[in-house]
Structure 1
Amino acid sequence: MTTTSVDSGLAEPEPNGLFIVGGVVKSVIAAAEATAVRDHLSSLLQVKNLVVLLGSGASFHLGSPQTRNLTNQQVLELIQKSGDTPTAKDEELLATINPDDDGDLEKLLNGLQLAASLAAQARQTSVALGSGEQVKSYFTDEIDGLRQRINHALAHACQLPSTDKPLDAPYDADPLLAHRTFLSRMVRSRGANLPRPQVFTTNYDLVIERALDELGYPYIDGFSGTVDRRLNFAFYGLDFHRVETTTQSVLSRAEGALYLHKVHGSLNWRTSNARDRLTGLQSLEVRQSSSSSNDDDLVLIYPTSSKEGDTLAYPYSDLLRLLGDAVQQDDTAVIVAGYGFADAHINRILLRTLATNSALNIFVADPFAVLDDSDWGKLNAGAQQKMLDELAVTPKQTAIAALARANDSRVAVLTGNCGKFTELAQLMPEPSLQGEAPTAVTALIEALEQVTQDDDVTAEADDLQ
């Protein structure tokens, strides 16, 4: 690790995190020193309404796919890994639509979608792409075929943890460790009388569900039924309670429960057109299913320019409405991790609510969105309590960097290595001592354990004699 000199002449490790509140640097985090972050998180976990928003960055350590700065060859490899075989036309079409060989899946899918739409509008079976002598004609079936293969490859790549390459330790042996740590500390640190946490995610993967299953925590994801699970938004109005088994009288609220909302769909969501048995009327249903022979049945918002319009349709519009309702409540905190503010429909909800709800606090964790690598060596403890704009660094032109520079005490940003989801999980405060054994009882238990150990030692000595 590189070092940087401070005014005292001593060398200190290059910081691995920066904690900024209201545009002011509250802490330059060195090796394991993150008291200010933990204290801030502790206060957020005790607000009345806790909202968590997780994006793809929360799954990077599990092999979540890269969607930007892809070469055409990497796109073809992504298709191959999903079990499809790219055609010669796929390679040619990629070279035509991505001539700089530096692709963004969203832009690639946009281009393919627009090309197919142009041909359909002109009532043609093909469309010409390129310029000058490089103009080539492609059938709409070829364009749609490549678009579908990329969509399929993206969905396949979101089946996490990835098996394409070994994961870093300790996640190679325990992939869901970070998610379990984050979720359990979040739930157990909150007071028993507070409303349930509400988790929203843009991710398609099933990592959160599997982590909750491993923890044994109950959760409401909006689905009713057991064998035939159907999306039913009325279930978000339900809760879990402990009851006396014989009288069914309510004893207390069940511990460890939360609400889960997948605002861009999920890998195990499928669409179906069903007829009501009583009325015979047909309606669109969303069901949970682990398998399907048709990718078109997947309920996912793919990363294209049309995703803004897609959110107006069922079920996404209802899920986003629930997000809007959640952040508009009094005494609300939003913890954001792994989300890069690339979705205008979500940004609009958060930013407009921040402008109108004075009781809303936002905490954003992101490792790379604020500073370039070259700027970290310029930071030391002397940067604390200074405005970010006063330091000898150049913040990036990103949405999260803009939040970090905002002069608003309700906005906090954690960046650097500490901003990784795996690190944030460890920074989440441990549950309070409330509800644990009193000190006197703890001391008695320790004394009894010591007596037992002494007896064991004496018995072993007697055996040796």
Structure 2
Amino acid sequence: MSEDNANEIDRFEIGGENLLSKVSMGFFQTSNDTLPLGTETLPREELDDIRVRIGTLLKTETVSFLLGAGASVDCGGQLIGLVPLAVERDLHRKDTAGTTEAQVAQWLKVFYLAVSHSGGGDTTPVSEDEIRSRQQKLEGKEVKSLLANFEQVLATLHRWRSALPSTGGRLRVDSTSTVTLDANAEDLDECLRRATRALAIACNLPTEDKEGGISTYKAFIRKLLTRPLNLKRVNIFTLNYDTLVEQASDADGVVLLDGFVGTYRRVFRPESYEQDLYFPAETTEGRVHRFDRVLHLYKLHGSITWRATKPSINNPYGIESERFNLNDTQPVLIYPTPAKYGETLGMPYAELFRRFAAAVVRPQSVLFVIGYGFGDEHVNAIIRQALAVPSFTIVIVDPAPNSDFVKALRKQNDPRVWISEGSRIGTFEGFVKEVLPDLREEEILKKVVATHQSLSKKENTGRGDMSDDN
């Protein structure tokens, strides 16, 4: 669990009603024991009731999960609502390699101007002296991240690049009255390549000191697979570029239908999402059984494993997937959605977002949103569309959900809006371990409870008969 979330109060709301009325700041009870972190603890009965309710949602026809950057924090992931320090430091290392201290590469100037134009404001270094000063600060531990959404920074760079022809042309960018940058297409290409490469390296998770975090993803995958086989496959939509879902699935032999086909050469073919896996039953009647270890994965913003290639008949989208190589200098295909809603989404992102929208607007659809700060207007618009469907339910998991989107939802007191928040059940780890049920274990628990209640009734009836005899 991230230290930033250590003091958040645990709450579980359905339509504005808090089901954890007896929990206080920092107090939590696991499914096995009570952990007295203060003067009060969370009663197990309340936690069990929540798990039963979540279990009911998991048994609906269409279940989808949307994972944001917060779901990767315990594996060393970077929150890109700001400019990650790891990315900025990597860019400066590449800038100074083989150059004198007095030089500041043109592409690095372009980068900081993009930060300034993406919400970084006056605190963003833009002149050569300011950039050199920033480099010295990055060598220390007290430096703060720049106040700009990094995905918006990349989107700004993409927009600037699209304003120029494929070769040639220049772009004049004004920042202040004293700083004006005259950049060409090569400068923008170099800036984009280095910025996306630095982000890809930061998204190569888990980090060495956070390898234990992958266990949460494994538990997450296992619990999703306990759904009845007659229901649709679970959809995992992720805005993250890392490969944590893939690693956890591989560890447990789970097949991910991720839109790519091929063994030696994996290319993007979205029609593969319509496929499913079966195996023949051990009978002579020709029956088949549905393979139980299958999930759908949609990487809405791309992946560190994606590469752009020339489109062809056998690879119409021009996208291949291969293992991420830290030493490879080829650009990776991680591309944020445009910063402004209404701008055109390119392929394959348009296709992936279309499938996201189609999944959540189905009747009896449930969407679990984990670690997402509602900063992507394209995603928000799709969720708004889903909320227009009466049978849709959304479960928001966040340590401190304070976005304008969530605030607006809370005002409605809509029983279709569930919110799990706080330092324990508001994190990905806490939600998976303590709230998300294993449906097979829940069924066993129900039988045990029913048997216990039945025996208790018989025992009480017997005592009543003995009293009558006396």
Q: Tell me which amino acid in the other structure corresponds to 1:76.
A: E
TM-aligned CA deviation for residue 236 of structure 1: 1.4
CA contact (8 A) 1:151 1:302 kept: no
Alignment correspondent of 1:100: 123
Alignment correspondent of 2:437: 429
Q: Tell me which amino acid in the other structure corresponds to 2:217.
A: H
Alignment correspondent of 2:56: 43
CA contact (8 A) 1:220 1:236 kept: yes
Alignment correspondent of 2:15: 22
Alignment correspondent of 2:365: 332
Q: Tell me which amino acid in the other structure corresponds to 1:422.
A: E
CA contact (8 A) 1:128 1:136 kept: yes
CA contact (8 A) 1:81 1:153 kept: no
Summarize deviations over 1:86-120 as a string: whole Å, max 9, x none.
Answer: 96246655666453133312444455455556677
Quick one: distance in 2 between partners of 1:215 and 1:286?
Answer: 27
Alignment correspondent of 1:404: 410
Quick one: distance in 1 between partners of 2:49 and 2:407?
Answer: 20
Quick one: distance in 2 between partners of 1:78 and 1:200?
Answer: 29
Quick one: distance in 2 between partners of 1:74 and 1:258?
Answer: 32
Quick one: distance in 1 between partners of 2:370 and 2:163?
Answer: 38
TM-score between the two structures when normalised by the length of structure 2: 0.71
| 2:279 aligned residue (222, 239, 242) | 242
TM-score between the two structures when normalised by the length of structure 1: 0.72
3-state DSSP of counterpart to 1:403: helix
Alignment correspondent of 1:158: 203
Matches within 5 A, 1:22-171: 22-28=15-21, 29=23, 30-32=27-29, 33=42, 34-70=47-83, 76-80=88-92, 85=97, 88-89=104-105, 97=116, 98=120, 99-101=122-124, 102-104=146-148, 105-113=150-158, 125=170, 127=172, 129-132=174-177, 134-140=178-184, 141-163=186-208, 166-167=209-210
Alignment correspondent of 1:305: 339
Quick one: distance in 2 between partners of 1:219 and 1:339?
Answer: 22
TM-aligned CA deviation for residue 151 of structure 1: 1.8
Alignment correspondent of 2:263: 226
| 1:346 aligned residue (379, 401, 426) | 379
| 2:390 aligned residue (358, 365, 381) | 358
Higher strand share: 1
- Relative to structure 1, is the Cα distance of residues 348 and 306 closer, same or farther in structure 2, using a 3 angstrom cutoff? closer
| 1:192 aligned residue (229, 233, 244) | 229
3-state DSSP of counterpart to 2:381: helix
What's the RMSD between the two structures over aligned residues? 3.5
| 1:205 aligned residue (236, 242, 253) | 242
Does residue 322 of structure 2 align to residue 289 of structure 1? yes
CA contact (8 A) 1:308 1:344 kept: no
- Relative to structure 1, is the Cα distance of residues 404 and 38 closer, same or farther in structure 2, using a 3 angstrom cutoff? farther
- Relative to structure 1, is the Cα distance of residues 216 and 284 closer, same or farther in structure 2, using a 3 angstrom cutoff? closer
TM-aligned CA deviation for residue 248 of structure 1: 9.9
Quick one: distance in 2 between partners of 1:18 and 1:114?
Answer: 41
Matches within 5 A, 1:380-391: none
TM-aligned CA deviation for residue 300 of structure 1: 2.3
3-state DSSP of counterpart to 2:230: coil
3-state DSSP of counterpart to 2:318: strand
3-state DSSP of counterpart to 2:298: strand
TM-aligned CA deviation for residue 81 of structure 1: 7.1
TM-aligned CA deviation for residue 364 of structure 1: 0.8
- Relative to structure 1, is the Cα distance of residues 63 and 127 closer, same or farther in structure 2, using a 3 angstrom cutoff? same
3-state DSSP of counterpart to 1:336: strand
Q: Tell me which amino acid in the other structure corresponds to 1:54.
A: L
Report the more deviating stretch, 324-333 or 89-98.
89-98
Alignment correspondent of 2:216: 178
Q: Tell me which amino acid in the other structure corresponds to 1:398.
A: D
% identical equivalent positions:
24
Structure 2 residue runs without a partner (length 5+): 1-5, 30-41, 125-145, 449-470
TM-aligned CA deviation for residue 212 of structure 1: 0.8
| 1:269 aligned residue (298, 306, 319) | 306
CA contact (8 A) 1:301 1:307 kept: no
Report the more deviating stretch, 346-355 or 242-251.
242-251
Does residue 367 of structure 2 align to residue 319 of structure 1? no
3-state DSSP of counterpart to 2:65: strand
Quick one: distance in 2 between partners of 1:31 and 1:434?
Answer: 21
TM-aligned CA deviation for residue 413 of structure 1: 0.7
TM-aligned CA deviation for residue 79 of structure 1: 2.2
Quick one: distance in 2 between partners of 1:224 and 1:126?
Answer: 40
Summarize deviations over 1:56-95 as a string: whole Å, max 9, x none.
Answer: 1110111112323449x76531425789859624665566
3-state DSSP of counterpart to 1:300: coil
Q: Tell me which amino acid in the other structure corresponds to 1:25.
A: N
- Relative to structure 1, is the Cα distance of residues 354 and 35 closer, same or farther in structure 2, using a 3 angstrom cutoff? same
CA contact (8 A) 1:82 1:153 kept: no
- Relative to structure 1, is the Cα distance of residues 182 and 308 closer, same or farther in structure 2, using a 3 angstrom cutoff? farther
- Relative to structure 1, is the Cα distance of residues 433 and 94 closer, same or farther in structure 2, using a 3 angstrom cutoff? closer
Structure 1 residue runs without a partner (length 5+): 1-12, 371-396, 441-465
**How many aligned positions are there?**
384
Quick one: distance in 2 between partners of 1:365 and 1:414?
Answer: 5
Q: Tell me which amino acid in the other structure corresponds to 1:242.
A: F
